Amino acid sequence: MKTQRAILYLAVGVVCALVAALAAHRYLSQGGTNEPQVERVHILLATRDISFGERLVLPGEGEEEEHNVRFVAWPRNLVPAGAIPEEEKAETLGEVCRAWTDITQHEPILKPRVIADADFIPESMYLERVRVDREDIVSGLLRPGMSVDVLQMVDRRPLDFMRCVRLYAVGSLDRLGRPAPRREDDVSPNVLLLIRKEHRQDFIAADKSHELLLRPAAGPCGNGPVLVNAYQQEQVRRQEAGDLLAAARQLIEEGEYEDALSTLERAVSQYGELGEVTEQAPTLAVEARAGLAASLLRDAETALNEDADFSRTMSLLDRIERECPEHGLDERVADLRARAERALQDHRRAARFTSARREVEQAIARGRLPQAEEKLRELESFEGGPFQTEQGEVSPEEVYRQLRRRLHEAGSRYRLDRQVVETFVNDGQFERARQKIGQMKEQFPDHPQNPQLERLIEEAESSATEDA
């Protein structure tokens, strides 16, 4: 009886467990919630790591071990841009396709990362083999599918030759000419690069003339590869720099020193990093400045000796000191500056002397004899000479004697005429006195005693009229 009851209990437990399992399965299949199910689409996914150049194989298309992609359900709202949906299978995978980059297992495969086998080596591209350090291959620094920069070793300097070049294969190729997985026993140090056909001759020439090095691309790569050829650019720059240096030499030979210095400034500003410029430009600049200094000194001597242009002379000498510090003409420049300063002082003294002389002559001519006497004393203070004036070379002493004599003669003549006027007044000959005054005013119009004589005549004539 007990045995039958135990069997019954066991049967009931099994049934309950089955019911619970069925309920749990239904619950989980519905997402474990009452919310509506997420819409899903099937997209292409990598089932293992795929290397650059490897063919994409769906289940059923090849040997089981070759399968590397399959379509899996994916939430529609999480589908990445460029993913390959199952409905585009025929369009995208209808022909043999290969990975255009390395693809990681479980990663959605995007359209830009696959390429048709027929287009794997584009018509515009060509394969070139380059020998590299085997350690770069073993270490994984250089891998098929990556973008690399190609460098030229020139005088122990790495110069950019080509940027963003696709590394097509490391070591060997398969029977179709596609990248083959590298074997452990493959010790080949060669890699294949995809370059543009129009760059092939440049590439061959560079490979023959200099060692080529590869490094992972330093910057983002768009439409590569890009031919830089920094060595060729440097050669062009060296040629341009050499032309400027040659032009500067020619200008120096022709005496065009300012143009030569301007040309050298261009060479330094544009090509200052080149060795020939840093070596030759300073020497040529010293030569040009020395020539310019000598030319400016000649101009300064002409300005002083022939034109008496003291301002220009000083300006040219200042320019020599400012622009040609290493002119090597210190003594000549100092001597000419001293001569110019003395000549300028003499010129100023001569100008003051000429002005004082003119004032004395005008004062004598106008009869301003006291003023003439005062200015004559100023002339007497001038020493040295002779002075170079518009009238030629004159001696201050001789001019002073001449003017002193003229002043004395004028004073004597005026005193004599005054005595004549006074005699006429004393004799009552007032009309004759006026006539004489008129003559004196014509000869000495500004003499300060003329008004006194006129008043003398008027007062004498008035007094005589009253007495009569």
More confident residue, 347 or 259: 259
Residue 178 confidence class, pLDDT cut points 50, 70, 90:
confident
Q: Give how far Cα 105 sits from Cα of 30, 38, 86, Å.
A: 28, 24, 19
Mean pLDDT value across residues 101-126:
85
More confident residue, 289 or 350: 289
Lowest-confidence pick of 66-70, 89-93, 125-129, 188-192: 89-93
Mean pLDDT value across residues 20-49:
65
Residue 355 confidence (pLDDT): 86
Residue 456 confidence (pLDDT): 86
Residue 9 confidence (pLDDT): 40
Residue 390 confidence class, pLDDT cut points 50, 70, 90:
low
| Highest mean pLDDT of the ranges 11-25, 374-388, 413-427 | 413-427
Mean pLDDT value across residues 327-346:
85
Q: Which residues pair with 128 in a beta bridge?
A: 193
More confident residue, 92 or 22: 92
| Highest mean pLDDT of the ranges 109-123, 183-197, 260-274 | 260-274
Residue 246 confidence (pLDDT): 94
- Distance between CA atoms of residues 346 and 392, nearest Å: 14
Residue 181: pLDDT over 80: no
Residue 250 confidence (pLDDT): 94
Lowest-confidence pick of 78-82, 156-160, 304-308, 323-327: 323-327
Mean pLDDT (the chain, rounded): 81
Residue 189 confidence (pLDDT): 80
Residue 51 confidence (pLDDT): 82
Residue 7: pLDDT over 70: no
Going from N- to C-terminal start, the domains of the chain cover: 1-37, 40-118, 121-228, 234-328, 359-468
More confident residue, 188 or 149: 149
Residue 26 confidence (pLDDT): 52
The pTM assigned to this predicted structure is: 0.50
Q: Which residue do the tokens 């099937």 mark?
A: 42
The correct answer on CATH 1.10.1740.10 for the domain covering 40-118 is no
Mean pLDDT value across residues 62-78:
81
Residue 425: pLDDT over 80: yes
Residue 468 confidence (pLDDT): 61
Residue 436 confidence class, pLDDT cut points 50, 70, 90:
confident
Lowest-confidence pick of 59-68, 213-222, 268-277, 286-295: 59-68
Mean pLDDT value across residues 230-249:
87
Residue 388 confidence (pLDDT): 65
Residue 262 confidence (pLDDT): 93
Residue 24 confidence (pLDDT): 39
Residue 249 confidence (pLDDT): 93
Residue 48: pLDDT over 60: yes
Mean pLDDT value across residues 290-295:
90
pLDDT tens digit sequence for 38-47: 888 888 899 9
Lowest-confidence pick of 1-15, 107-121, 167-181, 389-403: 1-15
Residue 382: pLDDT over 80: no
Residue 342: pLDDT over 90: no
- Distance between CA atoms of residues 26 and 134, nearest Å: 59
Residue 6 confidence (pLDDT): 37
More confident residue, 301 or 231: 301
Residue 281 confidence class, pLDDT cut points 50, 70, 90:
very high
Residue 142 confidence (pLDDT): 84
